[in-house]
Structure formats: C-alpha cells, structure tokens
Amino acid sequence: MKHLIVVAHPSASSFTMALTRLYATELERLGHTQSTSDLYRMGFNPILNAGELAAADSGRVADSSARAFPADIAQAQRHVREADVFTAIYPLWWLSMPAIMKGYIDRVFARGFAYEPADGIVRGLLTGKKCVLITISGAPLTALAKDGRWSAVQALQDTHIFRSAGFEVLDHLHLDQVQPNLPVAVAERHFARILDCARRHFRGRTVWAEPAIG
Ligand SMILES: Cc1cc2nc3c(=O)[nH]c(=O)nc-3n(C[C@H](O)[C@H](O)[C@H](O)COP(=O)(O)O)c2cc1C
C-alpha cells in the first residue's frame, strides 16, 4: 500500500519528527511504500490567498473538478490521490493543529478535490482512502478527556475534517505528556505505541483485497 505522511513540526530534532521517522521506517519494513511531506522543511506555503479563493468561488457554478490549482497544490493533491493511506502527524497547539498544517488542509483539501457542498452539507470526495491521525500533547489525555476537550478535538479534527473529506479514519493515536527533557521510559512507551499502530493496521496488508461478491 502507498502511504502519504504529512507532518508539521518546526524542529527536525523534535520528538514529533522522531516519531514520524520511526513510523515511516516501520511501514517500509512491513513492505509498504511511503512518502513524507515534511511541511516545514518543504517550506509549504499555508496561506490561502485572495486569488486562489476567487478561483475557487468562480468555479462554483461550473464543474469545480475542472478547476486549475496552483502548481504546489496540484502536486500535493496528486500525492493524496496516489496514496491509499493518508497519515497526519502533528502536535496539538492550543488543542488545534499547527497553522502550517491547517493551511495545508485549507489549500490542499479544497472544494472540488476533497469535498463538494451538497444542500448545505459537505460530500467528501476522498472516499475509499484510509486515514491515520497521530497527535501529540503536553497535557495528559485523561485531563483533556475529563472536561470534554478531547471530544472537541475528535469532533473538529477526526470528523469535521477527515471524515467529512471521505476518509475512513482507521486510528487516532494520541501520545500525551510529551514535555521537554522527556524521561526515557515515557519516550519508549510512545515509540512502542507508534510501532504497534503501524503493525496493527498494516502488517500483512500490502495490497487491498477486493471484497468477495456473492
Ligand atoms: C504554540 C504551542 C501551543 C501548545 N498548545 C498545547 C495545548 O493546547 N495543549 C497541550 O497539551 N499541549 C500544548 N502544547 C505542547 C505540545 O502539544 C507538545 O507537548 C509538544 O509540542 C510536542 O512535542 P515536541 O515539540 O517535542 O515534538 C503546545 C505547544 C506549543 C509550542
């Protein structure tokens, strides 16, 4: 299977980037192919500007699938289209995604590519694709879950973005209590969970089997 990993963290030596490299290496070890779009190192431009927005709006009556996208976005969309599995990896910043990842969603998951509005609601166009979300926080997950903040994350990110775009969300792996000077035991527990996530979903599944008919 082909995996596209999209990761957002400014520091190449961060724990988030170490987790990403481990996940990518494990997918390859399991016989999958992957490519990683490292948004900061690529210098991805997250700003949806007026011209691009106008192009989106002008296509509203016409067939929006025929819309021309800027070259960087057309290339990013080709990577999504070619992937069987889309994996997003990012720390939670103010319980949201870093702005560069949000800008990736704004620009790449555009109308006509990731969704079409239908009667006021969104019809996802990326159906048939799987998605894995891997997020990282400083706070313990139990604290976030206790007062509803974790449910809000899941509603706004898993459902409102990824499921709305048509993905089947296989997993949302959340690694919590990631602080500077992380104790070895905590880091090793997170590394083990990353490996387990890759193996649980993808070991022995290098190709999709067609469902049997009849
Ligand atoms: C701008 C910013 C906002 C953050 N907001 C939150 C937050 O709302 N909740 C939380 O638990 N952690 C928050 N954190 C901490 C990160 O989610 C996380 O601990 C850390 O960035 C991930 O580890 P790494 O940077 O070592 O890869 C924030 C960090 C930054 C830089």
Distance, in Å, from the CA atom of 68 to the CA atom of 106, rounded to the nearest integer, reads: 16
* 137 Cβ closer than 6 Å to some ligand 1 atom: yes
Distance, in Å, from the CA atom of 65 to the CA atom of 74, rounded to the nearest integer, reads: 12
Read off the pLDDT band of 168 (50, 70, 90): very high
Tell me what pLDDT residue 94 has.
98
**Terminal C-alpha separation, the chain:** 26
Residue 31 three-state SS: coil
Ligand 1: which atom is nearest the Cα of residue 98?
1
- Residues 101 and 8: beta-carbon distance below 8 Å: yes
Average pLDDT (164-185) is 96
The model's pLDDT over 136-151, given as tens digits with 9 standing for 90+, comes to 999 999 999 999 999 9
Task: Compute, in degrees rounded to 10, the torsion defined by CA atoms 183, 199, 7, 184.
Answer: 10
Average pLDDT (189-213) is 85
Percent of the chain at pLDDT exceeding 70: 91
Tell me what pLDDT residue 62 has.
46
The yes-or-no verdict on residue 61 having pLDDT over 50 is no
The model's pLDDT over 94-118, given as tens digits with 9 standing for 90+, comes to 999 999 999 999 999 999 999 999 8
Tell me what pLDDT residue 208 has.
56
Q: How far is CA 138 from CA 30, 57, 72, 211, in A?
A: 30, 39, 32, 41
* 15 Cβ closer than 6 Å to some ligand 1 atom: yes
Tell me what pLDDT residue 68 has.
82
The yes-or-no verdict on residue 210 having pLDDT over 60 is no
Mean pLDDT of all residues belonging to the chain: 92
Q: How far is the CA of 51 from the centre of ligand 1 (A)?
A: 33
Q: Choose the residue to mutate in 39, 89, 93 for probing ligand 1, maximizing ligand atoms within 8 Å of C-beta.
A: 93
Tell me what pLDDT residue 212 has.
66
